[in-house]
């Protein structure tokens, strides 16, 4: 009988934030955790240098950052540990909301590992992401291009993973593939069918740090109790990835998009996301032109925005269960340190963008300032015009006289696109109550442990009696040439968080129609809320979406994945008389028009009724911003080719 072998990987889940402000967490790793990992590793190396019982694995960014920011003595200690094989990076920098990233920005993240490989003579073939439930197929060809053969995905235990095999070959349309191990936790013991080699994790939780010598010994005792007949050895992801890759023909092929059911978090700070996307498009131009060291540093800085931590842990730092009404909330913001500390963590995340721009030379910095200037709020429409048919460069735009919804558009060539039930393009503001939040938790959570409920719930919201579940429609206030001014109901503005006014501006060039939507002076609101801009053309047969450079049919996504809300760059409807393509520049989140925002969809999404772009939301806590205020604009481009 062949002896079983367990390849034991020691790892800590890195949140760049969450347990405290991001810079404090970064210092904690550099001042305490990496030295602790080195100390533990040295002990077991002294016991047995041929087969030490502790090897620490982490993302490439953390190792790179330590080597490039610490004292000569600290760097030398880490270099020695790396050269002895006691500390090892994997191929990715950290866990990301991958859908937000362009191919070139994802490559910028991969460049950390590639730089370390060159420095230390390694060839990294394995990578890992943890916590986030899903990712996009578009990263597969990029991983394959970088030589990554094995990807371990460990999911937050409260979140449903996509319906995929435990181990599979994830294959992109061009044929590139990686072997994926999907686990319903950060990482656990797995023996694939027919294998004598298994993978296991001694995984410490969020920013807990690496094991001490006694904790390492306890990890072996615990695993020995579960696998009494196996040989247990400390390993890297590289070791096990090579085994699975060599036997990859034994695993099923999956060509589905998976999606990310946490991607709604990018809508919790819409201004930050819009600025990030504008700078990412600039980085893509740099990558197509020429990437020097400063431009690469700019891209690496932008990748920090896609890292999956967006602030401090809401249940630990905010904690308040009383200040829900607008009046109570505004008073708490002025006087309660918990609110100030939490908001400061969101400001820290926004500052990543300024830090990234500061890496550029003077000429490129001006280019960055120029793309950010395009996000400036346009002048407010004035005057009392109320035309119900507008003109923009040969396009004709028909309005609903009450709501200001766009009923239909006609191109210069005479092609008319009408909306379902009289509305083609429409803005809506939605407020939610505790019943809506409970419905989210009932349909989404895989268990009801206290931490999971506190992450997803709005504690005290029901007791406050302040929230309301309602869809608010705008009212047409004025038009001016190709501009529309809408006003929102007083209740929605004063009691909840609707912007008092919304503007739409159209500009055109040939068969291209550009739309700029602006939310004006939105008040901060802690109660659950969201805004949407819908595109609902009549008789759309099929929708496709584009993300990370790949087009996906709306039905080609794993069930229980992220199909009901996806971060995209474009969406395309197949209409009877040709396609309608909608490019989005500032608001990436798209959902089926017919789906309830608070109910998690475990089946395939139904786009029959059209699509709606989520402009902002504060759906659930964890570490996402819970309110924002001010102006926001979202730009869209409609094409008929």
- Asked if 110 and 194 sit in the same domain, the reply is yes
- Asked if 156 and 245 sit in the same domain, the reply is yes
- Asked if 40 and 146 sit in the same domain, the reply is yes
CB environment 377-415: b (16+ within 10 A), e (fewer)? eeeebeeeeeeeebebeebebbbbeebbbbbbbbbbeee
Residue 59, domain extent: 5-260
- Asked if 139 and 52 sit in the same domain, the reply is yes
- Which pLDDT score, from 0 to 100, does residue 372 have? 99
CA distance 618 to 48: 52
CA distance 40 to 52: 10
- Asked if 240 and 349 sit in the same domain, the reply is no
- Which pLDDT score, from 0 to 100, does residue 1 have? 54
Question: What sign does the CA torsion over 228, 233, 234, 238 have?
Answer: negative
Conformational region of residue 510, where left means phi above 0, alpha means psi within -120 to 50, and beta covers everything else: left
| 496 domain residue, yes or no | yes
| 531 domain residue, yes or no | yes
| 340 domain residue, yes or no | yes
Judge contact between 153 and 127, C-beta under 8 A: no
- Asked if 299 and 176 sit in the same domain, the reply is no
Residues 6+ apart with CB under 8 A from 474: 403, 404, 427, 428, 429, 486, 487, 488, 502
Whether this prediction's pTM lies above 0.85 is answered by yes
Report how many domains make up the chain.
2
Please return the burial class of 71, using the count of CB atoms within 10 Å of its CB with bins 0-12, 13-18 and 19+: exposed
CATH number for the domain spanning 333: value is 2.70.98
Q: Which helix (DSSP H) or strand (DSSP E) does residue 371 occupy?
A: helix 362-373
| 383 domain residue, yes or no | no
- Which pLDDT score, from 0 to 100, does residue 541 have? 84
DSSP 18: B
- Asked if 255 and 299 sit in the same domain, the reply is no
CATH number for the domain spanning 172: value is 3.20.110.10
| 343 domain residue, yes or no | yes
| Count of CB atoms situated within 10 Å of the CB of 121 | 7
- Which pLDDT score, from 0 to 100, does residue 513 have? 98
Residue spans of the chain under pLDDT 50: none
- Asked if 267 and 224 sit in the same domain, the reply is no
CA distance 158 to 451: 9
- Asked if 188 and 266 sit in the same domain, the reply is no
**HSE-CB of 355 using CA atoms within 13 angstroms:** 13
The two structure tokens encoding residue 425: 């393009």
């Amino acid at each position: 009988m062949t002896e079983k072998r367990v390849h034991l990987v020691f790892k800590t889940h890195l949140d760049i934030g969450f347990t405290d402000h991001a810079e404090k967490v970064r210092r904690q790793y550099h001042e305490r955790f990496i030295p602790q990992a080195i100390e533990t590793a040295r002990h077991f190396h002294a016991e047995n240098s041929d087969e030490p019982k502790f090897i620490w694995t982490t993302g490439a960014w953390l190792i790179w950052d330590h080597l490039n920011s610490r004292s000569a003595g600290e760097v030398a200690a880490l270099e020695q540990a790396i050269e002895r094989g006691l500390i090892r990076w994997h191929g990715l920098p950290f866990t990301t909301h991958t859908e937000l990233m362009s191919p070139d920005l994802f490559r910028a993240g991969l460049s950390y590992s590639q730089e370390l490989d060159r420095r230390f003579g390694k060839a990294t073939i394995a990578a890992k992401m943890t916590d986030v439930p899903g990712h996009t197929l578009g990263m597969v060809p990029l991983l394959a291009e970088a030589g990554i053969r094995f990807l371990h995905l460990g999911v937050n235990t409260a979140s449903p993973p996509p319906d995929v095999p435990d181990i599979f070959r994830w294959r992109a349309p061009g044929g590139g593939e990686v072997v994926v191990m999907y686990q319903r936790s950060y990482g656990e013991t797995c023996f694939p069918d027919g294998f004598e080699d298994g993978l296991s994790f001694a995984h410490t939780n969020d920013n807990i740090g690496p094991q001490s010598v006694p904790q390492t010994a306890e990890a072996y005792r615990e695993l020995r109790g579960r696998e009494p007949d196996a040989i247990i050895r400390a390993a890297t992801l590289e070791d096990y990835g090579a085994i699975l890759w060599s036997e990859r023909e034994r695993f099923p092929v999956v060509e589905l998009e998976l999606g990310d059911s946490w991607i709604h978090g990018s809508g919790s700070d819409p201004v930050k996301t819009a600025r990030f996307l504008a700078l990412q498009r600039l980085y893509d131009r740099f990558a197509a032109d020429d990437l020097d060291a400063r431009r690469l540093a700019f891209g690496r800085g932008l990748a920090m925005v896609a890292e999956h931590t967006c602030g401090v842990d809401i249940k630990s730092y905010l904690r308040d269960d009383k200040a829900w009404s607008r009046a109570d909330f505004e008073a708490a913001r002025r006087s309660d340190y918990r609110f100030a500390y939490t908001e400061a963590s969101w400001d820290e995340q926004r500052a990543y963008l300024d830090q990234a721009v500061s890496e550029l030379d003077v000429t490129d910095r001006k280019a960055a300032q120029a793309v950010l200037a395009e996000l400036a709020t346009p002048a407010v429409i004035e005057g009392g015009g109320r035309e119900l048919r507008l003109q923009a460069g040969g396009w004709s735009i028909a309005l609903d006289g009450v709501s200001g919804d766009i009923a239909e558009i006609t191109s210069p060539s005479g092609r008319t696109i009408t909306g379902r039930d009289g509305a083609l393009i429409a803005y809506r503001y939605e407020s939610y109550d505790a019943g809506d939040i409970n419905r989210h938790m009932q349909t989404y959570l895989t268990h009801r442990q206290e931490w999971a409920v506190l992450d997803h719930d709005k504690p005290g919201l029901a007791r406050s009696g302040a929230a309301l579940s309602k869809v608010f429609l705008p009212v047409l206030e004025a038009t001016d040439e190709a501009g529309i001014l809408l006003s929102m109901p007083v209740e929605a503005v004063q009691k909840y968080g609707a912007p008092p006014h919304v503007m739409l501006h159209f500009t055109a060039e040939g068969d291209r129609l550009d739309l700029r939507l602006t939310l004006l002076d939105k008040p901060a609101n802690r109660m659950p809320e969201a805004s949407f801009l819908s595109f609902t053309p009549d008789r759309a047969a099929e929708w496709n979406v584009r993300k990370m450079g790949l087009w996906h049919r709306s039905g080609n996504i794993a069930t229980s994945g992220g199909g009901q809300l996806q971060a995209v760059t474009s969406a395309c409807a197949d209409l009877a008389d040709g396609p309608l393509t909608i490019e989005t520049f500032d608001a990436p989140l798209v959902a089926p028009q017919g789906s309830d925002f608070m109910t998690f969809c475990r089946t395939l999404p139904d786009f029959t009724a059209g699509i709606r772009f989520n402009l902002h939301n504060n759906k659930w806590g964890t570490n996402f911003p819970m309110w924002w205020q001010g102006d926001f604009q979202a730009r869209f481009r409609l094409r008929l080719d």
